[in-house]
A and B are shown apart, each in its own frame.
Chain A
Amino acid sequence: MKKLRLVLVGNGMAGVRTIEEVLKLTPDLYEITVFGSEPWPNYNRILLSPVLAGEQSLQDIVLNDWDWYKSNGITLRTGTTITKIDRHRREVIADDGSVTPYDRLILATGSIPFMLPVPGRELQGVIAYRDIADTEAMIQAAQQYKHAVVIGGGLLGLEAANGLRQRGMQVSVVHLPGWLMERQLDPVAAGLLQQSLEQKGLHFLLGKNTAALLGNEAGRVRALRFTDDSEVAADLVVMAVGIRPNTALAESAGLHCQRGIVVNDTMQTYDPRIYAVGECVSHRGTAYGLVAPLFDMAKVCANHLAEFGIGRYQGSVTSTKLKVTGIDLFSAGDFMGGEGREEIVLSDPNGGIYKKLVLQNNKLVGACLYGDTADGAWYFRLLREGKDISSIRDQLMFGESSIGDTGHEGHSLAAAMPDTAEVCGCNGVCKGSIVKAIREKGLFTIEDVRKHTKASASCGSCTGLVEQILVSTAGGDYSAAPRKKAMCGCTDLSHAEVRLAIREQHLLSIPDVQKQLQWRSADGCTSCRPALNYYLISTWPHEAKDDPQSRMINERSHANIQKDGTYSVIPRMWGGETSAADLRRIADVVDKYQIPTVKVTGGQRIDLLGVKKADLPAVWEDLGMPCGLAYAKGLRTVKTCVGSEWCRFGTQDSTSMGKQLERALARMYAPHKVKLAVSGCPRNCAEAGIKDVGVIGVDSGWEIYVAGNGGIKTEVAQFLVKVKTAEEVMEYTGAFLQLYRLEAWYLERTVHFVSRVGLDYVKSVILQDAEKRRALYEELLFALSGEADPWHQPQAAHVDTRQFSALTV
């Protein structure tokens, strides 16, 4: 089949990114030609500022070198500008007279700097700041001349001014509004910024309006005159007053433009064969000038070009960071505040720190940070996810580390970290390897970094830090900002939508779900299969059939795989109590099967480590104890103290209570592991405060706490209710766990579930609605009724026993 011809006009970040995405999805569908006006391959425009400041070289910022185009079979025509599109004949005509036909056309013409319409703007030495040529002109001017004036105190203007100052020029910044970066900063933060830039040697002329540029005999600029008739000397004038979408080509071809080339959610213009991406685009009335949205657009456009047709671009939330070394500044969302909004402010002008958080309806809607931006990425995440922050409101200002993040204390300033510092403690990834991967592989999103380096791929607690390294290395926050998170790459549906569909459409098997909900891959993936299996069996107990092959190995072999491929076996010991007979049997098993390690666990169990897989069935049988499910997303343990039976302080019989809970809930699968504890008095020796459900005996009854966690982030459980009897403990605990089983996403611990839906919601179901509570408890008992023990009733528990015996040649 003859390949379709795809032509890209604009060899910049958005356009080339689209091509990359197209090649990923369908490497052979198109014969690709790329036109670029500049004489370079695709480079990272955002990093021109560090180049100007002499911190990086031009080679450093090339994203796709010449070889990349060659090895992907792309015809690259640099230094060639397309001047006309003949839509009728489907051809583009270049300034060298050449004619190139297309089947699909992508316009990524970017934006052009806005030049003030003042007399003298055509003089030599008056430039914009947009591309490599401008950057080189500035570097050259800095070697010959002394006085530079930058018009525009926005992000770009300040970066240009700083770069020129670094190169030894005397720089004045002219800015009409009353404070710097008025679109990103409030007046207080802008004042602090101005102060530190002044310390770096910049001069500021605020509230000044340029009237004319004056030239010398040679036709070069020599000064600026303002509307108040004052003048300032200038051998170089950089205009950085704004950009506007470059729509000239599209307009001349009769495409609908309105402050940008108007596109729909699939990035198509009014001519469906012509797509547009990047800064030249107007999407739902917004034109974006930052890189993250451009990459989102590229993904969607490529998806459509690859004829998948399932992606939609729905707009982006953006954040800003100024790339001036030594100045930390971050802003995102609606940082100005105003009516209906609340502000939390920390202001330490002498210490050079200012932070403002803007809240609305218990959600973070804006942030403006100056001096300490360590938590910028975290705030941005909260903002994008629209997370309810009422439970962390009092610590919000003090950052992510204040809410119990362990293991990364003190490692906050990503840029200041040495390359050898460990970032990801799980996978042993240091900063240097992350930076190297970002540079060499051209990574832009946190997902890419995760894939290539494994940093933040395990427990995820270093995600914020990795995001910061990404920001400081690649020059912007590129992480995509989806409104809702798709369950996995196989679908665009979220966990919520999938759960709902399973219930409403009464779906009973994984193939059913995949077919009804139009899964992209025939077989699903390792993320969605276990999730779907859990959703099915929890929604339709005794009706949907468990699929062991869609479970991770531990839940398939009913033991916990170790690094050497052996397994660990943990029998259940109700409430952590054991007996001489059990201990003797355990000892005999250890001897008989030469089990190398016997360890007492944190959940009051005995763990036999290093059991060969082939020995598992015999070990289970010889133990003669119930399966402990110590490997499962399900009820692990109920930890207890000795309670009133022995303890001189005990007020309640916590051991019996724990045993009763454990016997009722044994073999309960859940979205994630579930740990309980029962203490017999408020001294709380069973550590009930960091459990999914913690029960604490007091003289008059039991207090029930939920959603605690002793893991990656230590979270103290929250008080749910105080009850009088053991029966009530059973009912309230069961109802809470059933709510969690039915409404949490797979792999969401109770702490994350409760923080997502809010404790008030949990209370409204469990406490205020007695009928609903009883119904939930009944549902749980029904689901658990007849659940077989996988060690002793393998057939009933759907255990494939063939796995324990090997074939031989």
Chain B
Amino acid sequence: MTTWKIICELNDIPRQGARILQRAGMDDVAIFRTAENQVFAVTDRCPHKGGPLSQGMVVGDKVACPLHNWHIDLRSGEAVAPDQGCAARFQVRVEQGQVLMDETELRCGGKA
């Protein structure tokens, strides 16, 4: 079951930037806001060497990992070819300036 929960305001996330969402006992989630004000969320771990994606540069709807510049497509969580790998992604909704995520999903992982 999907339970939407308000995480923060859209304006709490810098444009072309990210915020970290901490979860007890599990990997952090990185929540991104693009230049176009779209919001995406993926596990804060690059599939390459575990770099914190939340610290990367956001270009278009991709983020470049700060450690070795792998590009991760925020829509799918997939690494951009020729690199191969995937960061689990999470559902996000933006309503009236609020960022909402699925509590159930946040509790039990994310979709690869």
* Chain A interface (Cβ < 8 Å from any Cβ of B): 441, 451-452, 521-526, 529-530, 549-553, 556-557, 561, 563-565, 613, 800, 802-803, 806-809
Task: Determine the distance from Cα of A806 to Cα of B8 in the docked complex, in whole angstroms.
Answer: 11
Known A549-B16, A807-B8, A809-B7: A451·B55 in contact at CB below 8 Å: no
Additional 16 contacts, C-beta under 8 A, given A526-B71, A557-B55, A809-B22: A522-B60, A523-B16, A523-B34, A524-B59, A530-B57, A549-B57, A550-B57, A556-B55, A561-B55, A563-B67, A565-B52, A802-B14, A803-B14, A803-B17, A807-B12, A807-B31
9 smallest CB-CB distances across A and B, nearest first, come from A549-B16, A553-B66, A806-B20, A565-B52, A523-B60, A553-B55, A526-B64, A806-B22, A807-B21
Most buried by B among A451, A452, A525, A806: A806
| A553 cross-chain contacts in B, Cβ below 8 A | 55-57, 66
CA distance A502 to B58 in the complex (A): 23
Which residue of the partner chain A has the closest CB to B28? A806
Report yes or no: A552 in contact with B19, Cβ–Cβ below 8 A: no
- 20 A/B residue pairs, CB under 8 Å, sorted by A: A521-B59, A523-B60, A526-B59, A526-B69, A529-B57, A530-B57, A549-B15, A549-B16, A553-B56, A556-B55, A557-B55, A561-B52, A561-B55, A564-B50, A565-B50, A802-B19, A803-B17, A803-B19, A807-B19, A807-B21
CB-defined contacts of B49 to chain A, threshold 8 Å: 563
A521 touches B60 (CB 8 A): yes
Q: How far is A281 from B111 in the complex, measured between Cα atoms in Å?
A: 51
State the CA gap A765–B47 with chains docked (Å). Answer: 50
User: CA separation between A564 and B20, bound complex, in Å?
Assistant: 16
Q: Which of A549, A613, A808 contacts B14 (CB 8 A)?
A: A549
- Contact indicator B59/A529 (Cβ below 8 Å): yes
CA distance A521 to B34 in the complex (A): 14
Among B20, B52, B57, B58: residue with most chain A CB under 10 A: B57
**B binding-site residues for A, Cβ under 8 Å:** 5, 7-8, 12-17, 19-24, 28, 31, 34-35, 49-52, 55-60, 64, 66-67, 69, 71, 82, 103, 106
A550 to B7, CA, bound (A): 26
Provide the bound-state CA to CA distance between A551 and B55, in Å: 11
Name which residue of chain B comes closest to A427, CB basis: B68
Determine the distance from Cα of A807 to Cα of B20 in the docked complex, in whole angstroms: 6
A556 and B16 CA atoms in complex are apart in Å by 12
A451 contacts which chain B residues (CB < 8 A)? Answer: 82
Residue in contact with A809 in the complex, picked from B14, B21, B58, B82, CB distance below 8 Å: B21
Supposing A525-B59, A529-B59, A553-B55 touch, asked if A561 and B15 sit within 8 A by C-beta, the answer is no
Q: Nearest Cβ in chain B — how far from A798, in angstroms?
A: 11
Chain B residues contacting A557 (CB-CB under 8 Å) are 55
- Do the beta carbons of B17 and A806 come within 8 Å of each other? no
CA separation between A549 and B69, bound complex, in Å?
15
In whole angstroms, how far apart are the Cα atoms of A800 and B67 in the complex?
A: 20
Question: Distance in Å from the Cβ of A357 to the closest Cβ of chain B?
Answer: 37
Contact A807 B59 (CB under 8 A): no
Beta-carbon contact of A522 and B35 below 8 Å: yes
A549–B28 Cα distance when bound, in Å, is 21
Find the residue from A565, A803, A808 having the highest chain B CB count within 10 A: A565
**Interchain CA distance A556-B56 in the complex, whole Å:** 10
Instruction: Please tell me if the beta carbons of A809 and B103 are within 8 angstroms of each other in the complex.
Output: yes
B67 contacts A561, C-beta separation under 8 Å:
yes
Do A565 and B51 touch across chains, with their CB atoms under 8 A apart? yes
Q: Which residue of B lies closest to A448 (CB)?
A: B82
Docked complex Cα distance between A557 and B13 (Å): 15
Which residues on the B side are within 8 Å of A521 (C-beta)?
Answer: 59-60
How far, in angstroms, from A656 to B71 measured CA to CA in the complex?
46
The answer to whether B21 and A808 have CB atoms under 8 Å apart is: yes
Report the minimal beta-carbon distance from A137 to chain B, rounded to whole angstroms: 39
Bound together, the chains give a CA A266 to CA B60 distance in angstroms of 29
A807 — nearest CB in chain B belongs to which residue? Answer: B21
Q: Report how far A553 CA is from B69 CA in the complex, Å.
A: 11
B17 to A807, Cβ gap below 8 A?
A: no
The minimal Cβ–Cβ distance linking A348 to chain B, given in whole angstroms, is 43
Task: Give the interface centre of A523, A530, A552, A564 by most chain B CB atoms within 10 Å.
Answer: A523
A806 adjacent to B19 (CB under 8 Å): yes
The distance in angstroms between the C-alpha atoms of A73 and B20, with both chains bound, is 43
CA distance A32 to B31 in the complex (A): 42
Closest to A453 in B: B82
Q: Which B residues are in CB contact (< 8 Å) with A802?
A: 12-14, 19
- With CB as the reference atom, state the residue of chain A lying closest to B7: A807
B58 CB to closest chain A CB, in angstroms?
7
Cross-chain contact A526 with B31 (CB below 8 angstroms):
no
Q: How far is the CA of A809 from the CA of B7 in the complex (A)?
A: 7
Task: Determine the distance from Cα of A550 to Cα of B59 in the docked complex, in whole angstroms.
Answer: 9
Q: How far, in whole Å, are A801 and B16 apart by their CA atoms in the complex?
A: 15
Q: Could you tell me the distance between the alpha carbons of A529 and B56 in the complex, rounded to whole angstroms?
A: 13
Q: Is the CB of B7 within 8 A of A549?
A: no
Residues of A within 8 A of B14 (CB): 549, 800, 802-803
Nearest CB in chain A: distance from B26 CB, A: 10
A561 touches B66 (CB 8 A): yes
CB nearest to A524 among chain B residues: B59
Q: How far is the CA of A521 from the CA of B60 in the complex (A)?
A: 8
- Is B57's CB under 8 angstroms from A526's CB? yes
Instruction: List B contacts of A563 (CB < 8 A).
Output: 49, 67
Whole-angstrom distance from the CB of B53 to the nearest CB of chain A?
10
Q: By the criterion CB–CB under 8 Å, are B22 and A800 in contact?
A: no
Bound-complex Cα distance A521 to B35 (A) = 12
**Distance of B29 from chain A, by nearest CB (Å):** 9
Measured between beta carbons, the chain B residues less than 8 angstroms from A561 are 52, 55, 66-67
Residue numbers in A under 8 Å from B12 (CB-CB) = 802, 807
Query: Distance (Å) between the CB of A635 and the closest chain B CB?
Result: 23
> Given the complex, which residues of A lie within 8 Å of B52, measured CB to CB?
561, 565
Name the one of A523, A550, A565, A809 contacting B55, with C-beta atoms under 8 angstroms: A565
CA distance A552 to B5 in the complex (A): 32
Closest A residue by C-beta to B54: A803
Chain A positions within 8 Å of B17 at CB level: 549, 800, 803
Taking each of B49, B51, B59, B60, which has the highest tally of chain A beta carbons within 10 Å of its own beta carbon?
B59
B67 — nearest CB in chain A belongs to which residue? A563
Residue of B nearest to A565 (CB): B52
Instruction: Give the complex CA separation of A565 and B57 in angstroms.
Output: 15
Query: CA–CA, A56 to B89, complex, Å?
Result: 46
A-chain residues with CB within 8 Å of residue B69 when the two chains form the complex? 526
Q: Does the CB pair A552–B66 fall under 8 Å? A: yes
Cα(A807)–Cα(B22), bound, Å:
6
Q: Which residue in chain B gives the minimum CB-CB distance to A557? A: B55
Roughly how many angstroms separate A341 CA and B22 CA in the complex, as a whole number? 68
Counting chain B CB atoms within 10 Å of each CB, the highest count among A530, A564, A800 belongs to A564
Taking CB as reference atom, which chain A residue is nearest B22? Answer: A806
Question: What is the CB-to-nearest-CB distance from A530 to chain B, in angstroms, rounded to a whole number?
Answer: 8
Shortest beta-carbon distance from A726 to chain B in Å: 40
Residues of chain A within 8 A of B5, CB atoms compared: 809
Closest to A552 in B: B57
Min Cβ gap A450→B in Å is 10
Complex interface: chain B residues within 8 A of A441 (CB): 82
Asked whether, in the complex, the Cβ of B106 is within 8 Å of the Cβ of A809, the reply is: yes
On chain B, the residues within 8 Å of A550 by CB distance are 16, 57
The docked-state distance in angstroms from the alpha carbon of A360 to that of B10 is 61
CA distance A522 to B61 in the complex (A): 11
User: Which residues of A sit under 8 angstroms from B67, Cβ to Cβ?
Assistant: 561, 563
Q: Which residues of B contact A565 (CB under 8 A)?
A: 50-52, 55
B contact residues around A452 at 8 Å (CB): 82
Our pick among B15, B21, B24, B50 for the contact of A806 (Cβ within 8 Å) is B21
B23 touches A809 (CB 8 A): yes
Q: State whether B57 touches A808 (Cβ < 8 A).
A: no
Residues of A within 8 A of B82 (CB): 441, 451-452
CB distance from A631 to the nearest CB of B (A): 12
Residues of A within 8 A of B58 (CB): 523, 549
Q: List the B residue with the shortest CB-CB distance to A452.
A: B82
Task: Tell me, in angstroms, the Cα distance from A530 to B16 when the chains sit together.
Answer: 13
In the assembled complex, the Cα of A446 lies from the Cα of B57 at a distance in Å of: 25
Task: Return A372 CB to nearest CB of chain B, in Å.
Answer: 34
Q: Chain A residues near B66 (CB, 8 Å)? A: 552-553, 561
CA distance A613 to B49 in the complex (A): 18
